[in-house]
Amino acid sequence: MSLGKETADFKMSMARDSCGRCHKEKFEKASHEFHFKALSLGLADAATCFDCHGFHENLSLKSGDPQTVKQCQQCHPGATKGFTYFQMHLKAGFEDAWMPGGAYAPFTSSSRPC
């Protein structure tokens, strides 16, 4: 479920005030993950909690499940079953894995192999 074309700041505050109010630990963890990092950089099209999980409709999205594929396709039209195996909610210790120098950071000119 998407709310529409809100700003990244509005979406982040909406998730914090709606989801984060009751799900503090989950929100804190999610705030260090890929979509929230994109929101913090101003990418308003990035998903928040309710874009994937709705407002308590899709609480448990499972990798490979047809419902999960359908949910991912809302923003990623080419998503397949394999797409759903991407580790969206990072395990402990990987919270900054997408940041420069992190385990999943894209190559930069200084880190690119020869």
Whether residue 113 has pLDDT greater than 50 = no
pLDDT tens-place string over residues 86-100: 666 656 665 555 556
The CA distances from residue 49 to 23, 81, 85, 88, 101, in Å, are: 11, 20, 18, 11, 26
* Pair 5, 63: CB distance under 8 Å: no
Whether residue 103 has pLDDT greater than 70 = no
Whether this model's pTM surpasses 0.85: no
How would residue 102 be classed by pLDDT, with cut points 50, 70 and 90? low
- Residue 90 pLDDT: 58
- Residue 29 pLDDT: 81
- Residue 1 pLDDT: 45
- CA 105, 14, 50, 60 torsion-angle sign: positive
Average pLDDT over residues 73-92: 77
- Residue 88 pLDDT: 67
